């Protein structure tokens, strides 16, 4: 690990301003992803800004009837909150499907959204990777790609986003609230927050340099049956090969989002209009234009079967 300087921020505005004026600065809270990347010298920040003391660790009701989740709320606390378990059960279940209890105890809401891909070539600094070193190439294309993207990829990158929580947030139409280095605030719809790789796979989100996430806002509860089903190589501490987050109403209508298939949580609202036609019609539209590799072509039928199981489970109530 390379040497770095360190400061403790005393306000969100101070943290954002410090990050903007210090080249190579990064925010740190739980550090469950960043510290690993620093040890491997994939991330080499020259300055760390500790945001743990900013008081962004509350879950509060909003005037609109939803919840505002502070950026520093730990994954364990968010999953266990009685309001989340009652009204946003898909979010609680997605959180509990991620990582391990020890990691969930320290991982934060903002950090979960911002965690970087677990593509093996991203982690292997001996291999070219456009996400790690722009313009160097993508070793995963033509390489081992069993766990990687089948939709939304590009000729520059076929990595997937690893978060379970983000899939549920996308399903719920959450909004990401931030503060910029000049003190201005903004709201980014979760649908727009994560980027597809295109020709710039090293840019994961719509955040500007120095911009700090302060909270995530959940809209009014959707009701219905909430399901999060994660298919993985082992029953714990493994990333999704495919995951399905769903909220399905008694009349059969609903919402569906996928994890493990794209560079961002994957939701196609138009596909949800086909719920009455059955799971295959929904899956076909969700995966329209899919470009699987030889290694991960199995994900197409796996999405179809997992979605079918989810919709069957919802019918049983």
Backbone φ, ψ for residue 302 (5° rounding): -65, -40
| Entry pTM | 0.98
End-to-end Cα distance, the chain:
51
Confidence bin at 1 (pLDDT 50/70/90): confident
Using alpha carbons, list the distances in angstroms from residue 109 to 68, 192, 208, 293: 11, 17, 18, 32
For the packed helices 279-286 and 299-316, what is the interaxial angle rounded to 10 degrees?
A: 140
- pLDDT tens digits for 41-77? 999 999 999 999 999 999 999 999 999 999 999 999 9
- pLDDT tens digits for 175-226? 999 999 999 999 999 999 999 999 999 999 999 999 999 999 999 999 999 9
- pLDDT tens digits for 105-147? 999 999 999 999 999 999 999 999 999 999 999 999 999 999 9
Backbone φ, ψ for residue 68 (5° rounding): -110, 120
**What is the average per-residue pLDDT within 250-260?**
97
**Which stretches of 185-258 are DSSP H helices?**
190-193
**What is the average per-residue pLDDT within 220-234?**
98
% of the chain beyond a pLDDT of 90: 99
Check residue 90 and give its pLDDT.
98
Average pLDDT, the chain: 97
Q: Which residue, 220, 93, 200, is CA-closest to 154? A: 200
DSSP 79: H
Q: Is the pLDDT of residue 243 over 90?
A: yes
**What is the average per-residue pLDDT within 162-171?**
98
Using alpha carbons, list the distances in angstroms from residue 28 to 106, 110, 123: 12, 10, 20
Interstrand relation of 212-218 and 175-179 (parallel, antiparallel or unpaired): antiparallel
Check residue 307 and give its pLDDT.
98
Are 73 and 213 in contact by the 8 Å Cβ rule? The answer is no
**What is the average per-residue pLDDT within 13-31?**
97
**Which stretches of the chain are DSSP H helices?**
12-21, 34-39, 75-80, 82-87, 89-96, 101-104, 109-114, 120-123, 165-172, 190-193, 279-286, 299-316
The CA distance from 12 to 27, in Å, is: 11
Confidence bin at 82 (pLDDT 50/70/90): very high
Q: Is the pLDDT of residue 317 over 80?
A: no
């Amino acid at each position: 690990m390379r040497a770095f300087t360190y400061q403790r921020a005393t306000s969100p505005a101070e943290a954002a301003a410090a990050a903007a004026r210090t080249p190579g600065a990064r925010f740190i809270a739980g550090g469950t992803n960043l510290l690993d990347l620093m040890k491997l010298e994939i991330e080499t920040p020259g300055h760390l800004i500790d945001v743990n003391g900013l008081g962004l660790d509350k879950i509060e009701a909003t005037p609109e009837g939803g919840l505002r989740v502070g950026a520093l709320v730990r994954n364990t606390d968010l999953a266990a909150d009685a309001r989340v378990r009652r009204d946003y059960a898909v979010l609680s279940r997605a959180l509990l499907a991620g990582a391990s209890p020890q990691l969930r105890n320290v991982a934060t809401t903002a950090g979960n959204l911002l965690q970087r891909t677990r593509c093996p070539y991203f982690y292997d600094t001996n291999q070219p990777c456009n996400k790690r070193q722009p313009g160097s190439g993508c070793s995963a294309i033509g390489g081992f790609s069993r766990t990687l993207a089948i939709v939304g990829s590009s000729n520059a990158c076929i990595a997937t986003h690893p978060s379970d929580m983000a899939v549920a947030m996308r399903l719920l139409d959450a909004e990401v609230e931030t503060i910029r280095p000049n003190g201005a605030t903004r709201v980014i719809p979760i649908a727009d927050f994560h980027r597809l790789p295109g020709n710039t796979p090293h840019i994961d989100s719509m955040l500007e340099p120095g911009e700090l996430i302060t909270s995530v806002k959940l809209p009014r509860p959707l009701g219905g049956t909430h399901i999060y089903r994660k298919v993985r190589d082992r029953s714990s501490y493994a990333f999704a090969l495919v995951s399905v987050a769903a909220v399905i109403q008694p009349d059969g209508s609903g919402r569906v989002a996928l994890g493990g298939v794209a560079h961002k949580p994957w939701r196609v609202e138009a596909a949800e209009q086909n719920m009455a036609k059955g799971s295959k019609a929904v899956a076909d539209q969700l995966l329209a234009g899919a470009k699987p590799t030889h290694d991960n072509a199995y994900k197409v039928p796996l999405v179809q079967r997992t979605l079918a199981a989810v919709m069957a489970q919802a019918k049983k109530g």
